[in-house]
Each structure stands twice: as structure tokens, then as C-alpha cells.
């Protein structure tokens, strides 16, 4: 293990959507027992975007505070991870680059591999910063999770974006070598280009996740990773928050861990935001990290495990060490506001938003203002998306 690593996450900020649907409202509609949602899948509520929000507006909203705090001078790369892509050609990151007025001397690209892609972005960013420690990389994961109405997946929707500033001498988390890697060609969850909602084999997707966890952990160990007992906490990808508990139990069993593990108590902190925001795909594991840093007792100098999973499937297990003084750089109040500011939807209003499709005829279509966030999708015209500050 290379203990000299001094690159990692320098800042972390997240954003979510305008609206929220509580699971109590969903259960009142579909007759499910509320305990199935609150206890069984571990979800209280899920974010629902306004008609004038998408992955670009969420991403720009998440990244704006990072740019305001650190400036744009050193950012030479923007890596935009999403599986809710809005264009087959142009990177959603280019719109964000424009909304945030980043320098022209920037490379911008979009990355895709289901929920895993933000981790690919982070690893690429670490390599770029290692090569030139003067540079910073803005990694964004932004997604809107949508399943068909009245399907089992409906309760595991959500929306959020996370912005990570990757830099040398990071203020929050030093990322270590090695990583454990795992890829398997499996159809557990996917979305063909012509569908606006995801297809999923629910139980198979859970088994695929656990199999990938085992595979990536074995590879991590083989390459000299830390023993499980080292970790003060582990942040798992959270399609729904009880999945983190399932994954953790699975990993303990796999490693033959008999006694209580310190990372078990920290799980509750990692689920603090995801239980309210729902599945945010690429952003989800980094929201778990935000939840941990914002809510746990002092973690200075402690190793934290990160388990990233993207259906289809690719997984990566890696570790970071929490940097002394990290608490001064957290965004607890802003993150709490992201959760609390959302307006509650009735079930009928949610259904209406879910069924709304953007026009595809290439005409001029101004979109009625709904979001109260800093950026909005103002119109579609000539098949172009027009974004504006609000």
C-alpha cells in the first residue's frame, strides 16, 4: 500500500431536486405497509425533479459552491458521470462548464457505467492530479433514478448530484492505493436508449451487487489492501439504504468476521442523506461519504472503505484516510438545506411529473418555471436545450 499518497477529495458538495415524495404518500396510494419502505428498504422519501430540472441543472447546482469556494483557475478537467444522459453526443459537462463560467482551457467529458461511473471519474482525476499536482479536477456524478409507475422499483427512485474537487494535499480524504476491481457481463439493471425508465431484475440485481462486492474485495486483498478490521467506516453504494446493511453483513461473513465490527455502527451515518433523497445512482456512494463525514464523531486519521457498484456490472473497492482538520471544510448546513428545502408532492402531482415527457418535435418550447434552484432548463428549441441561471 502506498502510504505517501497525497491526492484525494478536497471538497464535496451535493444538490438535489425541487420536490420530494414521501414513502408514506406512496404507501397510501399503493396499499404497501409503510414498514416495508421504512424498515424493509430503509427509505423515508425520494427526490423528484421539477419539469425544468435535469442532470445538468442538478450538477451545476452541486458544483457551484465548490467553484465559489476554490475559484476556477486550477480546474483543467471536468468529468461528468451519469446514466441519465441527455444527449448521445455532447457531454452534459459542457453545459455545466458554461453555466459555471469555467475557463475555455478545460477538457470536459461524460463517463458512463451505471452507478459506478463517478468512481471511474475519481480514479482518472487522481491520475491527472498525480501527474500534475498543480491541477484540480471537478468530478460530478448526477442522476435521476426513474422506474415505471406501480413497479417494485418505484419505491427506489430519487435524484441528486455530487461535485467532488480532486486535488493534491486534499482537505477531506486522501485516497489510497490499491483498488479492488471487478467486472461481469450481467443483465441485472439496464436502460436501452429508447426507454426513459430503467429495466431491472430486482432480486438478481441484489445478488449481482453482493457477488461484485466479493469479487472486488478479493481483488483488493490480493493487491495488498487493508484488512477489514482497519476500517472505521465503509461507504457502500446505496440503491436503497438497507442494501448497505445487506452488503456489510455479506462482507463480514465473507471475511469470516465473527465479532462486532466498528464500521457497523457508522453505517447509520452513511445512510443519513440517502434515506431522504433516494437512489441517485452515480452520486449515491458519495452521498454516503458526505453523510458519514457530516454526522460521525471525529474521524481524523481513520481509514474509510468505499464500495462502488454499477449494474451491468463494474465494482471497485478502495480506501481513503480522513485528513486532520477536515471538519472545518464540511458543508453540513448547506447539505441539510438541500434535504429540507424540497417541496412535498401529492401522489397525483408526482404521477403527473413522472408522466411528463419533454417534446421531441424540434419546435420552440419554453418550459414553465418550477424550480427554485440556481439554474433551470428554460426551453427546448430546434432540438437544443437552453439552460439559464434563474
Q: Binding mask 108-127 vs ligand CAA (x if CB under 6 A, - otherwise)?
A: -------x------------
Active site residue 316: no
Q: Which stretch binds ligand CAA (CB under 6 A): 39-47, 74-82, 222-230, 298-306?
A: 39-47
Q: What residues between 351 and 390 interact with ligand CAA by CB under 6 A?
A: none
Residue list 273-292, contact with ligand CAA (CB under 6 A): 279, 281
Contacting residue, 50, 213, 243, 345, with ligand CAA by CB under 6 A:
243
291-310 mask for ligand CAA (x: CB under 6 A)?
A: ------------------x-
Tell me the residue number closest to ligand CAA, measured at CB: 40
**Secondary structure of residue 378 in the 3-state scheme:** strand
Inter-residue contact 282 to 164 (CB < 8 Å) = no
List 155, 266, 299, 353, residue binding ligand CAA (CB under 6 A): 155
Q: Is 235 a catalytic residue?
A: no
Select 36 or 69, whichever has its Cβ closest to ligand CAA: 36
* Residue (94 or 287) nearer to ligand CAA, CB: 287
Contact flag: residue 94 with ligand CAA (CB under 6 A): no
199 binds ligand CAA (CB under 6 A): no
101 in active site: no
Q: Is 153 in the site for ligand CAA (CB under 6 A)?
A: yes
- Catalytic residue annotation: 83, 115, 237
Amino acid at each position: 500500500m502506498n502510504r505517501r499518497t497525497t491526492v484525494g477529495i478536497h471538497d464535496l458538495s451535493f444538490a438535489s431536486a425541487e420536490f420530494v415524495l414521501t414513502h408514506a404518500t406512496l404507501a397510501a396510494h399503493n396499499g404497501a405497509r409503510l414498514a416495508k419502505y421504512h424498515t424493509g428498504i430503509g427509505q423515508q422519501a425520494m427526490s423528484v425533479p421539477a419539469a425544468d430540472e435535469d442532470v445538468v441543472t442538478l450538477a451545476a447546482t452541486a458544483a457551484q459552491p465548490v467553484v465559489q469556494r476554490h475559484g476556477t483557475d486550477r480546474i483543467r478537467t471536468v468529468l461528468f458521470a451519469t446514466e441519465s444522459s441527455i444527449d448521445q453526443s455532447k457531454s452534459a459537462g459542457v453545459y455545466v462548464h458554461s453555466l459555471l463560467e469555467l475557463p475555455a482551457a478545460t477538457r470536459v467529458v461524460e463517463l458512463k457505467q451505471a452507478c459506478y461511473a463517478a468512481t471511474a471519474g475519481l480514479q482518472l482525476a487522481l491520475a491527472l492530479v498525480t501527474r500534475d499536482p498543480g491541477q484540480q479536477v471537478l468530478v460530478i456524478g448526477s442522476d435521476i433514478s426513474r422506474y415505471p409507475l406501480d413497479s417494485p422499483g418505484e419505491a427506489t427512485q430519487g435524484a441528486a448530484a455530487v461535485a467532488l474537487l480532486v486535488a493534491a494535499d486534499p482537505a477531506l480524504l486522501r485516497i489510497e492505493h490499491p483498488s479492488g476491481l471487478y467486472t461481469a457481463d450481467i443483465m441485472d439493471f439496464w436502460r436501452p436508449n429508447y426507454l426513459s425508465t430503467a429495466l431491472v431484475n430486482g432480486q438478481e440485481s441484489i445478488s449481482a451487487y453482493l457477488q461484485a462486492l466479493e469479487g472486488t474485495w478479493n481483488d483488493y486483498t490480493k493487491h495488498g489492501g487493508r484488512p477489514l478490521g482497519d476500517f472505521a467506516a465503509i461507504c457502500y453504494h446505496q440503491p436503497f439504504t438497507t442494501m448497505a446493511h445487506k452488503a456489510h453483513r455479506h462482507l463480514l461473513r465473507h471475511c469470516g468476521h465473527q465479532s462486532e465490527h466498528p464500521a457497523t455502527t457508522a453505517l447509520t451515518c452513511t445512510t443519513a442523506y440517502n434515506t431522504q433523497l433516494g437512489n441517485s445512482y452515480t452520486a449515491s456512494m458519495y452521498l454516503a461519504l458526505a453523510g458519514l463525514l457530516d454526522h460521525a464523531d471525529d474521524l481524523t486519521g481513520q481509514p474509510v472503505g468505499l464500495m462502488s457498484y454499477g449494474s451491468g456490472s463494474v465494482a471497485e473497492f478502495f480506501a481513503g484516510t480522513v485528513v486532520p482538520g477536515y471538519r472545518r471544510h464540511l458543508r453540513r448546513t448547506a447539505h441539510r438545506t438541500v434535504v429540507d428545502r424540497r417541496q412535498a408532492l401529492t401522489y397525483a402531482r408526482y404521477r403527473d411529473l413522472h408522466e411528463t415527457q419533454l417534446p421531441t418535435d424540434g419546435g420552440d418550447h419554453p418550459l414553465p418555471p418550477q424550480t427554485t434552484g440556481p439554474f433551470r432548463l428554460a426551453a427546448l428549441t430546434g432540438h437544443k436545450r437552453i439552460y439559464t441561471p434563474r
